[in-house]
């Protein structure tokens, strides 16, 4: 089974995230990492490879040169190879543009199974898996909190707001997993050493047969007019409960704000 | 003379019971044009009054089992057909997992820009202008769709629903579902057990417990019930198996934006803040006076929650009676 796992390089959530002057996310000036939620997708791919003979995992990302770090981390965890789409023209692509590029890579790879995380930790739109399924005409089994495989049939548990659903589809298909699906492994020393020898192919838009005018900031179907940092919340009142009056003062505050 | 500007609103409902988010979406839609509710399912009778009360001028009824037996794709097809027929000025969809997926597929199908997780929408000459809260609530972004029919998903609690009597003219809309959209079959559906508390993402008040509860959520639930609040949990509490994942607040759980958020025994890591930082008022109880949550609070108590909460619950109940 050929598994293509889509991953994203994002600014570290614990860093001071910010925007560039063109209102795109600053990915170069802020420490970046493999989006935490994509680790669950990589882990699920590894579990499936362990269960299904003759499987291989190709990790795909797009983004500037430094985005290669997201592929490297996935290879250290155990994925087999990587494809990195690098092209100046993709800067500023929205989800529509991103899905166009990734769908082309997946087509070229002839994937049996496409794996994604539930959302990125920067844009956190969580629409890319659905867009990929739409573009590729694949069954969409997404937001899986539990995955089981029976031959080419995939069955997942999806915990929705109102109900828990069990969903079934047959490969080839697109699967996205939540942080409930598994426990991502840490790269071992052996894994880190092995990753250095694993192949990572760099491809351009031209290699994918995509017109540069169809992606990037100017081709995006949405435009950010304005991005501002919010003023930090002004410091409130903090009391200690040493004298046992904490609860009463808390309730007084709530009553004063008309919450009671 | 300007033609009537129709705005499609996808109705979020459970067996016909309309969720609060739908009233909010209808209220926002009214700023942009005439709201038309899109109701998927067979129980429109139970929803009609609420949709009318919040200003739906039309109700398109899409009653077809294919729409509810398969995941997402058939609903996206149905909305595509409706968009092509009605040519709306915008489509508003609730920012649930399913809502965002429907929106994503619709955007590709009708070649239109998509904005997710809006917390506000204003009418503008160049089309609706949205506000989003990003990077764990640390930044505010204004954006608009520049191509096609603006498709916007809206977070719960973004606006106070306004009652305006709508025409609520019902119109059955028959959809054609392709075989390609019927490939991810929902083989079983178990509705979540009712807790008797408000829905987490819709609640005006949320009381959440974290690591500091040490697994005992009783004080959290009791304070929540005294305040008429929903109960939430931090990732640490959920990962420890103390509370179900459906109640997790944070980056990988629910994002809440209530009037009041009470964080109990929660340190306030960035992943948690991402889910609650836009609450109007924030209150915390934590025994560690250096917990980052205290940087956010309007009011904080440094103390043992197992002592503070029961007393607070008692005092709240005393004031109510």
Count of CB atoms situated within 10 Å of the CB of B14: 16
Average pLDDT rounded to a whole number, residues A186-212? 97
Instruction: Output the CA torsion B100→B101→B103→B107 (10° steps).
Output: 130
- For strands B13-14 and B17-18, give the pairing: antiparallel
Q: Do B227 and A254 touch (CB under 8 A)?
A: yes
Those residues with Cβ within 8 angstroms of residue A28's Cβ, 6 or more apart along the chain or in another chain: A64, A66
Confidence (pLDDT) at B313: 98
For chain B, the average pLDDT equals: 95
Please determine, for residue B199, whether its predicted confidence score (pLDDT) is greater than 80. Answer: yes
Assigned token pair, B175: 């959809």
Phi first, then psi, for residue B156 (nearest 5°) are -60, 155
**Lowest mean pLDDT, pick from A5-19, A33-47, A143-157:** A5-19
Q: Which CATH superfamily is domain A2-219 in?
A: HUPs (3.40.50.620)
Asked, as a colleague might, if the bond just before B197 is cis with ω within 30 of 0, I would say no
Q: Is there a contact between B104 and A240 if contact means CB atoms under 8 Å apart?
A: no
% of chain B residues with pLDDT over 90 = 90
List B273's β-bridge partners, or say none: none
Considering the entire predicted model, what is its pTM?
Answer: 0.93
The contacts of residue A89 (CB under 8 Å, 6+ apart) are A205, A212, A215, A216
Beta-carbon separation of A127 and B146 below 8 A: no
pLDDT for residue B194: 81
Contact call for A230 and B138, based on CB within 8 A = yes
Question: For A61, what's the count of Cα atoms within 13 Å in the CB-facing half-sphere?
Answer: 27
Residue A216, phi-psi category: left (phi > 0), alpha (psi -120 to 50), beta (remainder): left
**Residues of chain B contacting residue A173, judged by C-beta atoms under 8 Å apart:** 183-184
Query: Helices B305-320 and A246-256: crossing angle, nearest 10°?
Result: 40
Q: Are A138 and A173 in contact (CB under 8 A)?
A: yes
Pairing assessment for the beta strands A2-6 and B58-62 based on DSSP bridges:
unpaired
Inter-chain contacts counted by CB atoms under 8 A, chains A and B: 263
Q: What is the pLDDT of residue B1?
A: 39
Q: Is the CB of residue A166 less than 8 Å away from at least one CB of chain B?
A: yes
Band (pLDDT 50/70/90 cuts) for residue B3 is: low
- Please tell me the distance from the alpha carbon of residue B46 to that of residue B191, in angstroms, as a whole number: 18
- Say whether residue B17 is in contact with chain A using an 8 A CB cutoff: no
Residue with tokens 């609040």: B229
Q: Are B162 and B54 in contact (CB under 8 A)?
A: yes
Choose the mutation target among A135, A175, A221 for the interface with B, i.e. most B CBs under 10 Å: A221
Q: Does residue A214 sit at the B interface (CB-CB below 8 Å)? A: no
pLDDT in tens, A86-135: 999 999 999 999 999 999 999 999 999 999 999 998 888 999 999 999 99
Distance separating alpha carbons of residues A22 and B38, to the nearest angstrom? 37
pLDDT, tens only, B76-112: 999 999 999 999 999 999 999 999 999 999 999 999 9
Q: Is the pLDDT of residue B2 over 80?
A: no
| pLDDT for the residue numbered B184 | 97
Residues, chain B: 321
Per-window interface: B 68-107 vs A, CB < 8 A? 71-73, 76, 96-98, 100-105, 107
Looking only at the bridges linking them, the beta strands covering B34-40 and B58-62 are parallel
**C-alpha–C-alpha distance, residues B263 and A37, integer Å:** 24
| Nearest residue of B to residue A128, measured between CA atoms | B104
Burial zone of A2 (CB within 10 Å; 0-12 exposed, 13-18 middle, 19+ buried): middle
Residue with tokens 């409960």: A241
Mean pLDDT for A155-162 is 91
Q: Phi first, then psi: what are they for A183, rounded to 5°?
A: -120, 105
Instruction: Please give the DSSP secondary-structure letter assigned to residue B42.
Output: S
Please give the residue of chain A at the shortest CA–CA distance from B13: A162
> What are the φ/ψ torsions at residue A44 (nearest 5 degrees)?
-65, -40
Interface contact B140-A228, CB threshold 8 A: yes
User: Which sign does the torsion angle of CA A255, B262, B297, A228 carry?
Assistant: negative
pLDDT of residue B193: 80
- Does the pLDDT of residue B309 top 70, yes or no? yes
Q: Contact, B166 vs B35, CB < 8 A?
A: yes
Name the residue facing A167 among B185, B274, B297 (closest C-beta).
Answer: B185
Q: What is the DSSP letter of B164?
A: B
CA distance B201 to B99: 14
The complex scores an ipTM of 0.94
Calculate how close chain A gets to B6, using CA atoms only, in Å: 21
Q: Do residues B106 and A130 make contact, with C-beta atoms less than 8 angstroms apart?
A: no
């Amino acid at each position: 089974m050929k598994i293509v796992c889509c991953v994203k390089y994002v600014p570290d959530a614990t860093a001071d995230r910010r925007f560039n002057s063109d209102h795109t996310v600053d990915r170069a000036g802020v420490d970046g990492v493999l989006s935490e939620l994509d680790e669950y997708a990589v882990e699920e791919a590894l579990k499936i490879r362990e269960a299904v003979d003759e499987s291989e995992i190709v990790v795909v990302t797009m983004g500037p040169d430094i985005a290669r770090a997201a592929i490297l981390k996935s290879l250290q965890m155990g994925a087999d190879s990587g494809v990195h789409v690098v092209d100046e023209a993709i800067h500023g692509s929205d989800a529509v543009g991103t899905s166009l590029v990734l769908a082309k890579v997946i087509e070229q790879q002839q994937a049996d199974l496409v794996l994604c995380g539930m959302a990125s930790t920067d844009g956190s739109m969580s629409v890319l898996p659905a867009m990929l399924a739409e573009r590729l005409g694949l069954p969409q089994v997404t937001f899986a909190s539990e995955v089981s495989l029976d031959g080419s049939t995939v069955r997942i548990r999806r915990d929705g707001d109102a109900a828990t659903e069990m969903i079934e589809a047959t490969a080839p298909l697109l699967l996205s997993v939540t942080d409930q699906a598994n426990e991502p492994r840490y790269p071992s020393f052996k894994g880190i050493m092995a990753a250095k020898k694993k192949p990572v192919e760099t491809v351009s838009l031209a290699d994918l047969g995509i017109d540069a005018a169809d992606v990037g900031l100017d081709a995006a179907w949405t435009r950010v007019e304005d991005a501002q940092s919010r003023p930090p919340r002004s410091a409130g009142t903090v009391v200690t409960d040493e004298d046992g009056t904490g609860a009463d003062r808390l309730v007084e505050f709530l009553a004063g704000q008309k919450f009671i | 003379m300007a033609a009537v500007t129709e705005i499609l609103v996808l109705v979020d409902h459970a067996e016909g019971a309309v969720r609060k988010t739908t009233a909010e979406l209808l209220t926002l839609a009214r700023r942009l044009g005439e709201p038309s509710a899109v109701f998927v399912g067979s129980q429109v009778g139970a929803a009609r009054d609420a949709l009318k009360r919040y200003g739906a001028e039309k109700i398109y009824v899409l009653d077809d089992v294919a729409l509810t037996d398969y995941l997402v794709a058939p609903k996206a097809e149905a909305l595509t057909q409706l968009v092509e027929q009605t040519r709306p000025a915008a489509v508003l969809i609730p920012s649930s997992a399913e809502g965002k997926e429907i929106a994503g597929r619709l955007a590709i199908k009708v070649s239109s820009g998509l904005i997710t997780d809006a917390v506000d929408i204003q009418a503008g000459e160049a089309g609706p202008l949205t506000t989003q809260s990003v990077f764990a609530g640390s930044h505010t972004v204004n954006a608009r769709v520049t191509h096609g029919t603006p498709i916007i998903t809206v977070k719960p609690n973004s606006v106070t629903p306004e009652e305006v009597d709508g025409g609520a003219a019902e119109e059955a809309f028959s959809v054609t579902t392709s075989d390609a959209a019927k490939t991810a079959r929902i083989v079983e559906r178990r509705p979540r057990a009712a807790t008797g508390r408000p829905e987490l993402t819709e609640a005006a008040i949320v009381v959440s417990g974290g690591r500091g509860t040490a697994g005992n959520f009783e004080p959290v639930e009791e304070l929540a019930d005294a305040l008429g609040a929903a109960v939430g949990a931090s990732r640490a509490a959920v990962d420890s198996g103390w509370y179900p994942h459906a109640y997790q607040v944070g980056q990988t759980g629910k994002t809440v934006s209530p009037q009041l958020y009470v964080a109990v025994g929660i340190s306030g890591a960035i992943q948690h803040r991402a889910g609650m930082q836009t609450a109007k008022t924030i209150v915390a109880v934590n025994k560690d006076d250096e917990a980052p949550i205290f940087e956010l609070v309007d009011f904080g108590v440094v103390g043992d929650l197992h002592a503070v909460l029961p007393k607070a619950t008692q005092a709240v109940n005393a004031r109510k009676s």
